[in-house]
A and B are shown apart, each in its own frame.
Chain A
Amino acid sequence: MSELVITPAPHLRSPLDVPRVMGRVFLSLLPATIWGMAFFGLQLTLWPLLLSILGAVGFEALDCFVFRKPLSIFDGSALVTGLLLGLSLPPGVPFWIPLVGSGVAIIFGKQMFGGLGQNIFNPALVGRAVLFISWPGIMTSWRVREIWALGVPFSGEGLDVVTTATPLGISKLQGYSALTQLEPRILWRLFVGTVPGCIGEISAVALLSGFFYLLFTGVVRWDIPTFYFLGLAITGAIAGQNPLYHILAGSAIMGGCFMVTDYVTSPVTFKGKIIFGLGAGIFTGIIRWLGGYPEGVTFGILIMNALVPFLDRLLPRRFGVKKV
């Protein structure tokens, strides 16, 4: 008999590994991606998405090369970061926006912290935040075919493409009632995805179908998203607006299904997850309500990302000790 292999127990391992997890997350984003491409047209969406993905993978490879680390692009995490960032860009952005965004996301958001698993902030959100602060004009200009525009278009740009305000922008400046007067079917349109916004964030139903796929394949759990939407809805209600509107508008579904659930930047224990989800939802709502920007998802989540090392200390109850 040839030599026997000696390894420590357990001698069974689950088939789920990191690339498979990342692959499932990538797959789950495809409905929203396809919807965005169909809605805005390939001309305005294909390049931002491709450049964002290629940028993320490319910058990670470059970083590994420069700092002589083992090449880590095949774990799939850079791919997911690139897609998430691309989906959170407005359609038709200049070509350098996705490149700058993915560079910041990968290099400053992830690799500088030590790479996969070490970063405190969600890399895609870091990239988006920097783009948002640095080029607010570009990042909040929503171009869309005229028939879908909300209210009065800001300016015409061609025969049928106009730049328009977003629901959150209108409700922020003129109030929720002004918005519903302008567009009584706003909730339904947000749910289906016929309201201008970022490439991959417009259709709640497309995003949710991907999310339920993740839920049923056991990639993510219900806890953080539930508490996120709960926190957002409560804050929205306190602000005197329709809680459901707050969940459906802007990046909330994207954030609540795909950003707060990021393993690396969310807490490990159940207690931590509750506070994390609730907090991120509440901050999102507060920024929308009282902050200077109409949208608060990015910063709401980034603020709670910063608290995760602390939240991780909220250990579960000790087995055999009912009360501390």
Chain B
Amino acid sequence: MKWKSFPGGVLLDPAKDRTEGKPIRKINPPTKVVLPLVQHTGTPLEPLVKKGDTVRKGQKIADAEAFITAPVHASVSGTVQGIEEWWHPVLGRFRAIVVGNDFQDLGEYREPLPEDIERLEPQFLREWIREGGIVGLGGAAFPTHVKVSPPQGKEIDSLILNGAECEPYLTCDHRVMVERAEVVLRGARVLARACGAKRVYVGIEENKKDCIKLFVNLQKDFPLPLQVVALRTKYPQGSEKQLIRAILNREVPPGGLPLDVGVVVDNVQTAWAVGRMSQEGVPLIERVITLSGDCLREPGNLEVPLGVILAELVEFCGGFEREPRKVVMGGPMMGIAQVSLEVPVIKGTSGFLFFVEVVEKREYPCIRCGRCSEGCPMFLTPSYLAKLSEFKAFAEAEENRVMDCMECGTCSYLCPAGIQITQFIKLTKNEILLRRKKGGERK
């Protein structure tokens, strides 16, 4: 069998053996949850509750007017202890709603969807998804209702479920696919209906053979044409644009979205969250994450309420066997190093990794070996972009397509000179965006 793939990329040690065989465990209810007002890509939220309020599990507690945003719901029932600054895994410190758990588990859920999903109005489904606070659970946390709302004149023909999970160590999507395939596919029906897709693809890397088999078995009962696509295990196979290229051989134009080539891509766990909400009415208040690396006594996949503090999860995993020197939220290639164990799980948290060793590389001058260019899945010349960044030649960097970079980290990984190419590119992109903003204001 030939595995589908994309040009460029890099073969990494998947390092998934620590957790891929471990079933999802539900954690003990936490004493409190911390729910930051930004857990998605888009406009920050305003709280709908105040200190002292009693909230129910599943109750909407923060929202905003904007289109690109997603509300947050209480993940436990109890009392609002305050709206205060707290550690945020991405933003350093940020305002968050702290809810003390009363362990009553009083719920305020939504109406489940009727069985005949294919008859529901797409517009209704989009609003329903939005009200559930659903965002992409692969890590980028882009609001799902925006993804499934094609603008006028754009037709969506295919929905791709992203089961590639190409980052090393992470296995939460793998476990969700193995244990909750039916719910995932139910979510796929809702998502396909919402965006108008006529066909569904499930892309799975071939190091998850059990998932491939399972989904192939479920194909015939699915109301839409469903195709399971085995993908080569190669980083960054789970990137939207690379996934679409591998499965449909279509390329999203620069600066464009999957919508532009008639596709919506959703992570399998997002589909699971949608499917679960359609069955039980539970909005996005829980997710499955991976805790792994080389420090925990019992690494594994946990189903956790959003807002639970990392330190509590560490305790649940038996504490540290060895003291970590680095803690990363997300995968090792794109994840964010953490300052503290007091950070909460947010919607975009796919896992936390704990490392004893900090991988550092001595820096040498660029020897122009070209590995970064060969590996770049966006066909850029990263070493040159890094040089332009060093010289602050931002306009030239823009001409050389720096904005096409999706910051997958492949170039930095490959560089034998140990240059932080991705970091240089991120700085350049930031600078260009800032200048655009300023330029816009002047006009």
Q: Which residues of A are at the interface with B, using a C-beta cutoff of 8 A?
A: 1-2, 4-14, 16-18, 20-21, 75, 77, 115-118, 221, 263-264, 266-269, 273, 312, 315-322
- The answer to the question of B355 belonging to the interface, with a C-beta cut-off of 8 Å to chain A, is yes
Contact assessment for B367 and A321 in the assembled complex, using a CB-CB cutoff below 8 Å? no
Distance in Å from the Cβ of A151 to the closest Cβ of chain B? 43
Contact assessment for B254 and A321 in the assembled complex, using a CB-CB cutoff below 8 Å? yes
Measured CA separation A319–B403 after assembly (Å): 12
Contact assessment for B327 and A20 in the assembled complex, using a CB-CB cutoff below 8 Å? no
* Chain A residue, CB-CB nearest to B326: A5
Measured CA separation A115–B361 after assembly (Å): 20
Partner of A4, one of B333, B337, B377, B417: B337
Contact assessment for A9 and B422 in the assembled complex, using a CB-CB cutoff below 8 Å? yes
Most interface-central of B370, B412, B420 (chain A CB within 10 A): B370
- The answer to the question of B119 belonging to the interface, with a C-beta cut-off of 8 Å to chain A, is no
Contact assessment for B12 and A4 in the assembled complex, using a CB-CB cutoff below 8 Å? no
Contact assessment for B409 and A4 in the assembled complex, using a CB-CB cutoff below 8 Å? no
Which A residues lie within 8 Å of B370 (CB)?
Answer: 263, 267-269, 273
Which A residues lie within 8 Å of B384 (CB)?
Answer: 268, 312
Distance in Å from the Cβ of A304 to the closest Cβ of chain B? 15
Contact assessment for B337 and A11 in the assembled complex, using a CB-CB cutoff below 8 Å? yes
Partner of B367, one of A11, A116, A315, A317: A116
Contact assessment for A13 and B252 in the assembled complex, using a CB-CB cutoff below 8 Å? no
Contact assessment for B413 and A13 in the assembled complex, using a CB-CB cutoff below 8 Å? yes
Measured CA separation A315–B400 after assembly (Å): 8
15 contacting pairs across A/B (C-beta < 8 A):
A4-B324, A5-B326, A7-B337, A9-B332, A9-B336, A10-B413, A11-B333, A14-B413, A116-B364, A263-B367, A312-B381, A318-B379, A320-B251, A321-B251, A321-B254
A18-B416, A268-B370, A320-B254 known; A12 vs B359 contact (CB < 8 Å)? yes
Identify whether the interface residues of A are mostly helix, strand, loop, or mixed: loop
* Chain A residue, CB-CB nearest to B325: A5
Which B residues lie within 8 Å of A75 (CB)?
Answer: 364
Distance in Å from the Cβ of A310 to the closest Cβ of chain B? 13
Most interface-central of A2, A9, A13, A18 (chain B CB within 10 A): A9
Measured CA separation A116–B369 after assembly (Å): 12
Contact assessment for B327 and A4 in the assembled complex, using a CB-CB cutoff below 8 Å? yes
Which B residues lie within 8 Å of A17 (CB)?
Answer: 361-362, 364, 416-418
Given contacts A17-B361, A267-B370, 20 further A-B contacts (CB under 8 A): A7-B337, A8-B337, A8-B422, A9-B409, A10-B332, A10-B409, A10-B412, A10-B422, A12-B359, A13-B361, A14-B416, A17-B364, A117-B367, A264-B368, A268-B383, A273-B370, A318-B379, A320-B251, A320-B256, A321-B254
A10-B332, A12-B332, A20-B416 known; A5 vs B337 contact (CB < 8 Å)? yes
Measured CA separation A263–B364 after assembly (Å): 14
Measured CA separation A267–B383 after assembly (Å): 12
Which B residues lie within 8 Å of A2 (CB)?
Answer: 323, 325
* Chain A residue, CB-CB nearest to B354: A4
Scoring B residues 315 to 357 as 1 if CB is less than 8 Å from chain A, else 0, what string do you get? 0000000011111100011111111110000000000010100
Contact assessment for B251 and A322 in the assembled complex, using a CB-CB cutoff below 8 Å? yes
| Nearest 9 Cβ contacts at the A-B interface | A10-B409, A117-B365, A320-B253, A18-B364, A316-B379, A263-B369, A320-B251, A11-B332, A268-B370
Measured CA separation A118–B168 after assembly (Å): 35
A14-B416, A18-B364 known; A7 vs B251 contact (CB < 8 Å)? no
Contact assessment for A14 and B414 in the assembled complex, using a CB-CB cutoff below 8 Å? yes
- The answer to the question of B423 belonging to the interface, with a C-beta cut-off of 8 Å to chain A, is yes
Contact assessment for B254 and A318 in the assembled complex, using a CB-CB cutoff below 8 Å? yes
* Chain A residue, CB-CB nearest to B314: A1
* Chain B residue, CB-CB nearest to A317: B379
- The answer to the question of B57 belonging to the interface, with a C-beta cut-off of 8 Å to chain A, is no
A4-B327, A11-B333, A12-B168 known; A269 vs B373 contact (CB < 8 Å)? yes
Which A residues lie within 8 Å of B409 (CB)?
Answer: 9-10
Most interface-central of B168, B336, B368, B384 (chain A CB within 10 A): B368
A264-B368, A268-B373, A269-B381 known; A11 vs B326 contact (CB < 8 Å)? yes
Distance in Å from the Cβ of B402 to the closest Cβ of chain A? 12
- The answer to the question of B211 belonging to the interface, with a C-beta cut-off of 8 Å to chain A, is no
Which A residues lie within 8 Å of B383 (CB)?
Answer: 268
Q: Which of B113-166 contact A (CB under 8 A)?
A: none
* Chain A residue, CB-CB nearest to B7: A319
- The answer to the question of B358 belonging to the interface, with a C-beta cut-off of 8 Å to chain A, is yes
* Chain B residue, CB-CB nearest to A322: B251
Contact assessment for B412 and A13 in the assembled complex, using a CB-CB cutoff below 8 Å? yes
Measured CA separation A310–B365 after assembly (Å): 21
- The answer to the question of B366 belonging to the interface, with a C-beta cut-off of 8 Å to chain A, is yes
Contact assessment for A316 and B254 in the assembled complex, using a CB-CB cutoff below 8 Å? no
Q: Which of B407-443 contact A (CB under 8 A)?
A: 407, 409, 412-418, 420, 422-423, 426
Contact assessment for B326 and A4 in the assembled complex, using a CB-CB cutoff below 8 Å? yes
Measured CA separation A144–B374 after assembly (Å): 44
* Chain A residue, CB-CB nearest to B13: A12
* Chain A residue, CB-CB nearest to B408: A10
- The answer to the question of B298 belonging to the interface, with a C-beta cut-off of 8 Å to chain A, is no
Partner of B241, one of A268, A317, A320: A320
Which B residues lie within 8 Å of A20 (CB)?
Answer: 416
Contact assessment for A21 and B325 in the assembled complex, using a CB-CB cutoff below 8 Å? no
Measured CA separation A14–B353 after assembly (Å): 18
Measured CA separation A12–B335 after assembly (Å): 10
Measured CA separation A312–B396 after assembly (Å): 14
Measured CA separation A20–B371 after assembly (Å): 15
* Chain B residue, CB-CB nearest to A11: B332
Distance in Å from the Cβ of B288 to the closest Cβ of chain A? 22
Which A residues lie within 8 Å of B353 (CB)?
Answer: 11
Contact assessment for A117 and B422 in the assembled complex, using a CB-CB cutoff below 8 Å? no
Partner of B373, one of A4, A13, A118, A316: A316
A5-B325, A10-B422 known; A21 vs B359 contact (CB < 8 Å)? no
Which B residues lie within 8 Å of A273 (CB)?
Answer: 370
- The answer to the question of B180 belonging to the interface, with a C-beta cut-off of 8 Å to chain A, is no
Distance in Å from the Cβ of B350 to the closest Cβ of chain A? 13
Scoring B residues 239 to 270 as 1 if CB is less than 8 Å from chain A, else 0, what string do you get? 00100000000011110100000000000000
Distance in Å from the Cβ of B312 to the closest Cβ of chain A? 15
Which B residues lie within 8 Å of A10 (CB)?
Answer: 332-334, 409, 412-413, 422
Distance in Å from the Cβ of A322 to the closest Cβ of chain B? 7
